[in-house]
Amino acid sequence: MRADLVIKLGGSAITQKDTPYSPNLAVIDRIADEFSSSWRAGRVLLVHGGGSFGHRAAIKYVDGGSKLFSPRGIAETRHAMHRLTSILAESFLEKGVPFFAIDPSACFFYEEADSKPSLGYSLRPVELALSAGLLPSLGGDVVLSSQGHGRILSGDTIARILALASSARLLAFGTDVDGYLEGGKHLGKIGRGELKEIIAAAKGRSNDVTGGMAGKLSEVGEYLSSGGERALIFNATRPGIVARLLRGEEVEGTYID
């Protein structure tokens, strides 16, 4: 499987996070329009967060970590993500982009034979979608465990796995800020050697069930240490920025390499 670019659209960008189950339709439609004008089949993998959909459902049932023991909670969280995915699909398809949603729960699972969970997956459906000229899209979700419960699987983690599996040139995390902020200003670049200290400073700043900015930076650290090339945190709410990324241009944000 080969893709040049993995874009993760954060829930903070594509939903109104303070209003339950509320999409940011203006941003979604604009990004879909930019894909329509700049996307080339087979080059890009798309991931999206849960925002006011998945997070709002999961927070009622999560155990303080990532586990959901309630069958109703698992089903509600899955349904909430289906709702958001459907909104994205409608917008992209209206713009002529063959958005193809793939359920993470059909590709990912947790094996928990001991106290430490192990994430297993098969990306064959993603590979086949790319080969068919589709735009594969996966969202952060709840996936099932061998111990009979669910676990939250962050879209950031999915994006990192897809970027490594496809040897992407760039793993790009779209948020509602201009990159990693320090003292109110965004850093244009972070070196690998600086990441550990920056991740420690970012922890605890968010009630996001998937870790917020610290979670993204942690995924970037694992991505780079596993052979990934380059990562970016950018503001997906800014007009034109996704189109420029799709065309392979440099954009405003925080590059990490």
pLDDT (tens digit per residue) in 196-249 = 888 877 765 554 554 578 888 999 999 999 999 999 999 999 999 999 999 999
| Residue 203: per-residue pLDDT | 65
Calculate the average pLDDT of the chain.
Answer: 91
The one-character DSSP state at 173 is E
The rounded Cα 202 to chain-centroid distance in angstroms is: 18
Residue 143: is its pLDDT beyond 60? yes
Superfamily designation of domain 5-53+82-106+124-141+156-256: Acetylglutamate kinase-like (3.40.1160.10)
Q: Note whether 150 and 143 are within 8 A (CB).
A: yes
Residue 56: is its pLDDT beyond 90? no
| Residue 210: per-residue pLDDT | 47
Give me the sign of the Cα torsion angle 244, 246, 252, 257: negative
Give this prediction's pTM.
0.93
Distance in angstroms (rounded) separating the CA atoms of residues 218 and 157:
9
Q: At what angle do helices 212-225 and 155-165 cross, to 10 degrees?
A: 20
- 3-state percent helix, strand, coil for the chain, nearest multiple of 5: 40, 25, 35
Residue spans of the domains in the chain: they are 5-53+82-106+124-141+156-256
pLDDT (average), residues 124-134: 95
Q: Note whether 145 and 69 are within 8 A (CB).
A: no
Beta bridge partners of 215: none
pLDDT tens for residues 86-119?
Answer: 999 999 999 999 999 999 999 999 998 776 789 9
